[in-house]
Structure 1
Amino acid sequence: MVKHIYVIRHCEAQGQSSDASLTEHGFHQAEVLAEFFADKKIDRIIASPFLRAIQTIEPLSTMDNINIEIDERLSERILSTRDLPDWYEKLQATFIDMELKFDGGESSKEAMERIVNVVEGILQSDAEQTIIVSHGNIITLLLKNYNSNVDFQFWTQLSNPDVFQLSVKDHEVTLERIWEL
């Protein structure tokens, strides 16, 4: 049996805070995303507690009558609790040194372990096709866990939304970007 986990980066949002809503365009993208998945039999939907992640998947949840499970481990990674004017360079450095950590933040390794634990739980469940909705940085770290070529540059090329398919058969994981811009 092949299990599929669809990893979705949220649609266009109005900001980075946990309560930032989707933009008008983002709500339209969420409808398009629901249509994108219309022909797939989804068993579970698990989302970050951030509003933009929930709003991204609500149209599909409503269309397929699937409850959205909220999982804190899908929250975006916190780089630092302090304002970092050079956050871009600091983020890039965390992809080189996976243990690097800034004030109040988590390392790439810690964030990766957090989201990989969600996927491992899904793989042990009965669900054959699961959607997880999360955020760019932590999704990049998840994908890096399964493909060492995923790096900071990869993160810079993500779109809102973006969709990747992790397929697992006999403990063999394949990764494919399935969202067409």
Structure 2
Amino acid sequence: MKTYIYMVRHCDSPKEGEERTRGLTELGKKGVRSVTEILKKEKIDLIVSSPYLRATLTVQQLAEEIGQEVMIYEDLRERVFTVKETRMSDSELMPLIKKSFDDDSFSLTGAESNSECRKRAIEILQKLLITHKGHKVVISTHAVIMTLMMGYYDIKYGLDFLLNTTKPDIYRMEFENQDLLQVERLVNG
């Protein structure tokens, strides 16, 4: 019995603001429609999301249209790069991301490593694969954590993959029990 996990990278969000409460830009709001249209065709059974507003807003319209609730999982939040609540600039963030993919245990003081982030997220994914076996589950989350979860099953999902994802982005992962069989990208960036 196959289970399908749809990894959704959230739609475009403002560059400034607090991590948890940044919503979507006008471009991001337009992206919600395409996410909804693509995933409605998939006959989704369950929608889960990071607690960050931009991730939940990306799948809220889908949930409403198919009569579902968005289930929030704290451990699907983006990797914690710094103890600051506001978003780091790309010029600050990119060197940290690159170093993190070179050294899985690297983190700034008080923050989280790729290894720690992957561990918390994979626990959620593995539980979903058991409790929703044979179903189609959407996970709305963020670029780094999505890459870490996908990379757990196949090392080709690493830094180069991360740098080529779009906002939004959708990957359908086909599983047999806990084994990844294949991945298909559903968004053409």
Which category of TM-score, normalised to the shorter sequence, fits these structures?
A: over 0.9
Aligned to 1:113: 119
- For the residue of structure 1 that corresponds to 2:138, the secondary structure is strand
Return the letter of the residue paired with 1:156: L
Aligned to 2:148: 141
Q: Percent identity?
A: 25
Give a deviation string over 1:60-94, Cα, whole Å, max 9, x none. Answer: 00100111000001111011226686431121011
Return the letter of the residue paired with 1:160: K
Alpha-carbon distance between aligned partners in 1 of 2:156 and 2:178, rounded to the nearest angstrom: 20
Question: How does 1:20-169 map onto structure 2 within 5 Å?
Answer: 20-81=22-83, 86-127=92-133, 128-169=135-176
- For the residue of structure 2 that corresponds to 1:3, the secondary structure is strand
Alpha-carbon distance between aligned partners in 1 of 2:37 and 2:93, rounded to the nearest angstrom: 36
- For the residue of structure 1 that corresponds to 2:40, the secondary structure is coil
Give a deviation string over 1:121-176, Cα, whole Å, max 9, x none. Answer: 11111351000000111111111111112221211111000011111115430223
Higher alpha-carbon deviation: 5-14 or 119-128: 119-128
Return the letter of the residue paired with 2:131: S
Return the letter of the residue paired with 1:139: M
What stretches of structure 2 of length at least 5 have no aligned partner?
none
- Assess if the C-alpha contact under 8 Å between 1:146 and 1:175 holds in 2: no
Alpha-carbon distance between aligned partners in 2 of 1:54 and 1:86, rounded to the nearest angstrom: 26
User: Normalising by the residue count of structure 2, what TM-score does the alignment of the two structures yield?
Assistant: 0.89
User: Normalising by the residue count of structure 1, what TM-score does the alignment of the two structures yield?
Assistant: 0.93
- For the residue of structure 2 that corresponds to 1:120, the secondary structure is helix
The root-mean-square deviation of aligned C-alpha atoms, in Å, is: 1.6
CA gap 1:55/1:170 in 2 versus in 1, 3 angstroms:
closer
